Amino acid sequence: MSINATLIGQMITFTLLVWFTMKYVWPPIMEALEERKAKIAEGLAAAEKGQEEIKLAEKKAKNLVKEAKEQAAEIVSMAQKRANEVVEESKENAKKEGDRMLLAAEAQIEQEMQQAKEALRKQVASLALRAAEQILNEEIDKTKHKEILEKATEQLG
Amino acid sequence: MASEGGATGYIVHHLTPLTVGEGFWTVHLDTLFFSAFLGGLFIWFFKGQAEKATAGVPNLTQNIAEMLVEFVDGQVKDTFHGKSQLIAPLGLTIFCWVFLWNFMDLIPVDLLPGIAGLMGMEYLRVVPSTDLNATFAMSISVFVLIIFYSIKVKGIFGFVKELTCTPFGPWMMPFNLLLKVVEEVAKPISLGLRLFGNLYAGELIFILIALLPPLIQPMLSFPWAIFHILIIVLQAFIFMVLTIVYLSMAHEDH
């Protein structure tokens, strides 16, 4: 067991190994480790952010649904109101139309009555004329005359 | 295996390195080869992972590499409060390299020396951490870094001042210096010896178990191997943590 030149050889080998490790082994591995650390941190942050965003989106969606419901309710109530209005309007219109038709009918009735009266008058006149003619044709036949007159009167009545 | 000389011969054979050269210029080829090979394995694995490293979903090997990197990085951040490009990669290299060295301890004691024997190599000691040269090479490198950073952070005067004027003030200068030198020198020596001692003893016990009758061997080597799984990781961990601690102490200004 003696110290000899092997020591020097071993020191050279050791120095080379340390130099090589320092130069070519340690830095890339450390770099990769650091990079992965950064990546993981980034990923975690992104995940957290994503979750927050989901929460935000959920809140937003809830708000939207609420708003939509409110709007829908408003629209329904407006529609009901409108429907009521339409019903009212049409009722009024119908009433007006009815009134108008009634008036028209009344006027027509009046007119027809006038016409009937006119026709009647004309008939009465012609009847009277015919009666007068017959009277004149028959000359003086008192009884007949009377009879005719009575008939005419009867017809008139 | 090669049991001329009985049990002692067997043990000595297993603990003798494959050498080339004479005197100080002796070189332990097995230590150099296995530590370089394991270092290459470490570099190959981590370089591959570093090239493929992505911020995406990691696969199994990337996970393993990242686990080790984050483990070392966590240790460094716990102890060292400052910025350094060196300390964390240094810690990773030490932890993995020492672990791989120690792991060689779990390979059956006769397997690799046996194969080497067939190839004509008389001796082979496969666990680099049972070679004082290997453990001291690392601890002395760490010591050099400690001195370097002490001077870099505190300045040459700050460093000299710390060596001479603490803990007892300038009037006790020689005593302070002695104390400080012992304190500093104790760091690499304890680092190197601790790792060496643990693994040497562990390997020795494996060798001793291998000397027992074949039927008793598994009953002992199995629990010892399990216990050793703990030891090899623990020793690698201790070496790394102490390195980090020493270097952060060097960075601190008193």
Give the tens place of pLDDT for each residue, B162-175. Answer: 888 878 877 888 88
Q: Do residue B86 and residue A21 have CB atoms under 8 angstroms apart? A: no
Q: Do residue B137 and residue A10 have CB atoms under 8 angstroms apart? A: yes
Residues B129 and B135 sit within 8 Å (Cβ to Cβ) = yes
Helical spans, DSSP H, in B25-131:
29-52, 60-79, 87-103, 111-118
Give me A151's structure tokens: 């008939």
Residues B108 and B207 sit within 8 Å (Cβ to Cβ) = no
| Tens-place pLDDT, residues A68-82 | 999 999 999 999 999
| Tens-place pLDDT, residues B90-135 | 999 999 999 999 999 888 888 888 888 888 888 888 889 998 999 9
Residue B86 one-letter amino acid: L
Q: What is the pTM of this model?
A: 0.74
> With bands split at pLDDT 50, 70 and 90, how would you rate the model's confidence at B1?
very low
| Tens-place pLDDT, residues A91-100 | 999 999 999 9
| The pLDDT value given to residue B254 | 57
| The pLDDT value given to residue A139 | 63
- What are the backbone angles phi and psi of residue B82, rounded to the nearest 5°? 175, -175
Rounded to the nearest angstrom, the minimum Cα separation between B202 and chain A is: 16
Please state the domain extents for chain B.
Answer: 6-51+59-250
Residues B35 and B134 sit within 8 Å (Cβ to Cβ) = yes
| The pLDDT value given to residue B3 | 43
| The pLDDT value given to residue B75 | 92
Say which residues have a Cβ less than 8 Å from residue B176's Cβ, sequence separation at least 6: B163, B164, B165, B166, B167, B168, B169
Half-sphere exposure of residue B190: CA atoms within 13 angstroms, side-chain side: 10
Half-sphere exposure of residue A88: CA atoms within 13 angstroms, side-chain side: 6
Q: Do residue A7 and residue B133 have CB atoms under 8 angstroms apart? A: yes
Select from B221, B209, B219, B218 the least CA-distant residue to B10.
B209
Give the separation between CA B147 and CA B185, rounded to whole angstroms.
11
Whether residue B145 is predicted with pLDDT greater than 50 in this model: the reply is yes
Task: Look at residue B176 and give its three-state secondary structure.
Answer: helix
ipTM of the complex: 0.87
Rounded to the nearest angstrom, the minimum Cα separation between A54 and chain B is: 27
Give the separation between CA A22 and CA B21, rounded to whole angstroms.
33
Is the pLDDT higher at A57 or at B27? A57
Q: To the nearest 10°, the Cα dihedral for B236, B242, B245, B250?
A: -120
| Tens-place pLDDT, residues A102-139 | 999 999 999 999 999 888 888 888 888 888 888 777 66
Rounded to the nearest angstrom, the minimum Cα separation between B154 and chain A is: 24
**Which residue among A1, A17, A25 sits closest to B97, beta carbon to beta carbon?**
A17
Chain A residues touching B42 at Cβ < 8 A: 17
Q: Which of B85, B138, B247 to mutate to test the interface with A (most CBs of A within 10 A)?
A: B138
| The pLDDT value given to residue B237 | 95
Query: Which residue of chain A comes nearest to B45, CA vs CA?
Result: A25
Say which residues have a Cβ less than 8 Å from residue B128's Cβ, sequence separation at least 6: A10, B31, B34, B35, B38, B101, B104, B134
In the beta sheet, which residues pair with residue B41? none
Average confidence score pLDDT of chain B? 88
| The pLDDT value given to residue B6 | 78
Q: Do residue B54 and residue A32 have CB atoms under 8 angstroms apart? A: yes
Give the separation between CA B102 and CA A10, rounded to whole angstroms.
16
| Tens-place pLDDT, residues B196-247 | 999 999 989 988 898 888 888 888 989 999 999 999 999 999 999 999 999 9
Give the separation between CA A147 and CA A55, rounded to whole angstroms.
115
**Which residue among A5, A13, A32 sits closest to B26, beta carbon to beta carbon?**
A5
Give the separation between CA B29 and CA A11, rounded to whole angstroms.
14
Residue B106 one-letter amino acid: L
Percent of chain A scored above 90 by pLDDT? 64
